[in-house]
Every structure is written in C-alpha cells, then in structure tokens.
Amino acid sequence: MKLIVGLGNPGFKYRNTKHNMGFWVIDRIAKEKKIALTRRKFNAQWGESRYGQNKKFIIAKPLTFMNLSGQAVRKLIDYFKLRYEDILVIIDDIDLDVGTIRIKPNGTAGGHNGLASVLECVGSRDLARLRIGIKNGERAADLSGFVLTPFRKKEDFNLIKKTVHEASCAALCWLEKGIIFTMNNFNKKKEDC
C-alpha cells in the first residue's frame, strides 16, 4: 500500500491560496482516478483506490492545518502500517518558480513548516516529496502573507493549473514506476506529461 498526501489548510478561506497546492494536486488525482475523498478519520480527508496489479493506494489531505500536518500523516502511517518509502508528500515551494515541480526521495523541510511537522512526527527525513513552485518574481518579505493569498496574475493561474496537472501525473508515475524513474522524467520542464 502507498500513500500520497497533499499538504494545505482546510476551509473555504484557504481554498485558493498558494499554500494549498498539495490539496489541489490531491483533488486533481481524485478527479482523474474517480476517487471519492469521503473518509474522515485520522485528522484527514482521504480515499483509496488501486493501481498496477490490484495494489492499494490512498490519497489524503490533512485537516489539521498546515503546521500540524504531521499529526495526520503519523496516524495514517500507523493505521495502515506504511513504510517510509511508500509515502509521497506534496507541498508548495516558495523557492521554485511558478510552473516548476521537483521530486526527491528525502531531505530536510527546507523551511516549509508543514513538511517540518511531517518529518518531526514521522521521525525520519526519508519520505519522498513533490514540491510545486509558487514563486512569481522576487521573494516576498512577508512569507506567510504571500503563501496565504491566491495567485493574482491570470498567467500565473493558468500556468498553475497546468502545473497541478503535471504534478498529479508525477505523483501517479511515482506510484507506478518509483522515485528514480519519476525524478528522471519530471525534474525538468516538460510541455506535457
């Protein structure tokens, strides 16, 4: 069994903010794979489906707010007895340009509080992560203000929609083909996945 978890903040107020890129990708996967995100347990909204030769996977959105995301992820790991290499965490990244995604097998939180919470609660840095760029120019002085606002420029929003599609393709590729294949095929700009 594998878990794809997208980080974000629950509620209408945060729905369209840059910080909810992880939620956007989970919603896209749910739509593409016709997965109902109707289960609410473990401080998360989640659903499950199958891939490959009838292997099970879960997609989830923590409902704990970003900075406490690790609590939900830990509960999902414990309940489903998941191995760290079977988990992909999807986050926004202020250091990557809009339209860019990067996937890697492990590492630090890189200043992302939601990912820091996950790594702390899990007790390991060995979780794959898919980062989605939200930087659109110079770095904002007020980072929390920046990530908690929607994209303002129409071109940014159109590019983000395309990037969410690419990120969902990358997450599903990780599911089927693993981290190395996915890194080799998605850690570069591509026109289409």
The sign of the dihedral angle between the CA atoms of 148, 154, 155, 160 is: positive
- Cα-Cα-Cα-Cα torsion 115, 118, 120, 126, nearest 10 degrees, comes to -80
- The angle, 0 to 180 degrees and rounded to 10, between the axes of the packed helices 179-186 and 154-177 is 150
Exposed, middle or buried, 34 (CB in 10 Å: 0-12/13-18/19+)? exposed
Q: Report the phi/psi class of residue 99: left, alpha or beta, with left for phi > 0 and alpha for psi in -120 to 50.
A: left
Residue type, 72: A
CB 87 within 8 A of CB 128: yes
19 is catalytic: yes
Q: Which of 2, 18, 19, 129 is catalytic?
A: 19
As annotated, the active-site residues are: 19
